[in-house]
């Protein structure tokens, strides 16, 4: 377990921010009875769809979702992905969430079924709990005994070390061997650092720098700005049992086992084959079940969201049908904006481009186009998320654009309009700024009109 390092930023430095498309989504926005609130948790409108998603969350939490999946259907820009993200948020902050587009499974380097299998394994987490005997405390004193390297008489290497650890209630001196002494040096452990020393493996973890160290602990030069985390001085005994929690995905374990048993190439170069054999996955599954049965591990079934699922062909869809029945399977949520269309790889037309036997296994949730008042609320939320101040006139103009063209187009104009306002030394986006960027960037309707106008001059 490695130390967590949190950089302390100077006040003069502006923090880089990456605002995701659905970073404002915190949940489904339901009340205690499961009814959708008009605006809550970053969700607006789509009342029926959100309430239906709430039932999906209940089925998952009660363990009654086995053998089923979810299909979200509706026009583009109606919040299908937002609902999938909200379902994952409702299940828990540490629940794995994997997004895959239907077109991503077609790779020249990997079979499409392998892409789907890896995506499924990435969406299943394993929380491992382990009790370890450790020495924990702030370093009060540390001395290294150096000696000559037996292979190089001109080089000094650590032979042993003596360190004194202190907590709020105890102080203790320890003498450690050359391996631990070398690790203390390599990790830069100094007086005033809080460390963990594993009593069984000798592994050293530098937790951080002690806050308000006692006067008897003489700390070297301190800094106003440092990349080292500040932590409290531990309390209680120095030698103790401590629980460590690790969260991995099944795909992480697959790769580890594949590398460990990958033959000469992986031995020398650490290479992992792009496709993982079923034998390795079976070994991982057996190990996972053993950990769960012994109470050392806990499975975290996450969410695999496949957008544009109509892009998958009949073989990939058949694989998904079988995967829904698997004992180790995430919650599979599919989304599409297609109606009656051909199943890819066949001449058969089917609802949403999916085989009927797969549709029978899915709970179908439908979304609808947003109303003008809902578009307005979404624009308010996105403007707040992107730290943009909109005047009432700008908000009304963006709402009108969203209702007449598309919500996505209106949302995309927020940041350019803010940049236009700042270029004029304004803190608030005006209607004039919205009109300016609207004339610079086309929506779909104007783009089609442009293509028709210059059809003869454009390359075909």
DSSP codes of every residue in 8-71: PPPTTSPPP----TTTT--S--B-TTSPBPSEETTEES-HHHHHHHHHHHHHHHTT--TT-EEE
Q: List, for residues 28-83, the tens digit of each pLDDT value.
A: 888 888 888 888 877 888 889 889 999 988 988 887 877 788 999 988 888 888 88
Q: Note the pLDDT of residue 71.
A: 93
Q: Which of 326, 345, 366 is the last residue of a domain?
A: 366
Where helices occur in 294-424 by DSSP H, the ranges are: 314-323, 356-359, 372-385, 392-404, 407-412, 414-423
Residues 427 and 359 in one domain: no
Residues 156 and 238 in one domain: yes
Q: Which of 245, 272, 293 is the last residue of a domain?
A: 245
Residue 221: inside a domain = yes
Residue 259: count of CB within 10 angstroms of its CB: 15
pLDDT band at residue 4 using 50, 70 and 90 as cut-offs: very low
Q: Is the pLDDT of residue 406 over 70?
A: yes
Q: How many domains does the chain have?
A: 3
Calculate mean pLDDT across residues 189-217: 82
Q: What is the pTM of this model?
A: 0.67
Percentage of the chain beyond pLDDT 70 is: 87
Q: Is the pLDDT of residue 108 over 70?
A: no
Q: Which of 335, 366, 397 is the last residue of a domain?
A: 366
Residue for token pair 């394994």: 121
Q: Note the pLDDT of residue 441.
A: 87
Calculate mean pLDDT across residues 210-233: 67
Q: List, for residues 274-293, the tens digit of each pLDDT value.
A: 678 888 888 888 888 888 88
Q: Note the pLDDT of residue 20.
A: 53
Q: Note the pLDDT of residue 215.
A: 63
Mean pLDDT over each residue of the chain, to the nearest integer: 82
Q: Which of 216-220, 267-271, 328-332 has the highest mean pLDDT?
A: 328-332
Residues 142 and 165 in one domain: yes
Residues 57 and 143 in one domain: no
Residues 421 and 385 in one domain: yes
Residues 87 and 52 in one domain: yes
Residues 135 and 241 in one domain: yes
Residue 125: inside a domain = no
CATH number at residue 177: 2.40.50.360
CB 151 within 8 A of CB 205: no
Question: Taking Cα atoms as reference points, which of 70, 40, 73 lies closest to residue 53?
Answer: 70
pLDDT band at residue 458 using 50, 70 and 90 as cut-offs: low
Calculate mean pLDDT across residues 415-420: 91
**Residue 378 belongs to domain spanning:** 372-453
Residues 100 and 158 in one domain: no
Calculate mean pLDDT across residues 313-322: 89
**CA dist., res. 300 & res. 68, Å (int):** 17
Q: Is the pLDDT of residue 88 over 50?
A: yes
Q: Note the pLDDT of residue 227.
A: 60
Q: List, for residues 232-274, the tens digit of each pLDDT value.
A: 888 889 888 887 777 888 888 888 888 776 444 444 444 445 6
CB 410 within 8 A of CB 437: no
């Amino acid at each position: 377990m490695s130390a967590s390092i949190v950089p302390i930023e100077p006040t003069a430095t502006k923090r880089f921010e990456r605002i995701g498309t659905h970073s404002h989504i915190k949940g489904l926005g339901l009340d205690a009875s499961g009814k959708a609130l008009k605006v809550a948790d970053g969700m607006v409108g789509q009342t029926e769809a959100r309430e239906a998603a709430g039932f999906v969350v209940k089925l998952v939490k009660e363990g009654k979702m086995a053998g089923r999946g979810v299909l979200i259907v509706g026009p583009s820009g109606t919040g299908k992905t937002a609902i999938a993200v909200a379902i994952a948020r409702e299940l828990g902050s540490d629940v794995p969430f994997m997004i895959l587009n239907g077109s991503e499974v077609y790779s020249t380097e990997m079979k499409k079924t392998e892409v789907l299998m890896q995506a499924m394994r990435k969406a299943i987490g394993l929380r491992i709990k382990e009790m370890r005997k450790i020495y924990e405390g702030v370093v009060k004193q540390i001395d290294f005994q150096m000696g000559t390297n037996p292979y190089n008489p001109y080089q000094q290497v650590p032979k042993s070390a003596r360190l004194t650890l202190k907590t709020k209630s105890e102080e203790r001196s320890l003498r450690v061997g050359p391996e631990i002494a070398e690790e203390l040096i390599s990790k830069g452990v100094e007086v005033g650092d809080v460390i963990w020393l594993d009593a069984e493996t000798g592994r050293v973890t530098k937790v951080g720098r002690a806050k308000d160290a006692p006067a008897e602990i003489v700390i070297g030069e301190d800094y106003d700005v440092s990349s080292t985390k500040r932590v409290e001085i531990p309390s209680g005994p120095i030698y103790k049992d401590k629980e460590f929690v690790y969260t991995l995905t099944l795909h992480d374990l697959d790769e580890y086992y594949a590398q460990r048993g990958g033959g000469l190439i992986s031995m020398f170069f650490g290479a992992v084959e792009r496709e993982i054999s079923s034998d390795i996955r079976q070994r991982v599954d057996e190990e996972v079940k053993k950990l769960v049965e012994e109470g050392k591990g806990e499975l975290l079934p996450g969410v695999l969201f496949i957008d544009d699922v109509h892009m998958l062909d009949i073989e990939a869809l058949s694989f998904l049908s079988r995967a829904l029945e698997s004992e180790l399977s995430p919650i599979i949520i599919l989304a599409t904006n297609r109606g009656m269309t051909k199943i890819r790889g066949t001449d058969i037309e089917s609802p949403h481009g999916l085989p009927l036997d797969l549709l029978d296994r899915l709970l179908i949730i439908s979304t609808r186009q947003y109303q003008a008042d809902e578009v307005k609320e979404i624009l308010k939320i996105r403007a707040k998320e992107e730290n943009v101040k909109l005047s009432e006139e700008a908000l009304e103009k963006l709402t009108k654009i969203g209702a007449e063209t598309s919500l996505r187009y209106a949302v995309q104009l927020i940041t350019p309009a803010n940049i236009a306002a700042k270029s004029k030394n304004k803190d608030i986006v005006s209607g004039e700024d919205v009109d300016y960027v609207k004339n610079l960037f086309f929506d779909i309707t104007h783009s089609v009109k442009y293509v028709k106008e210059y059809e003869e001059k454009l390359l075909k």
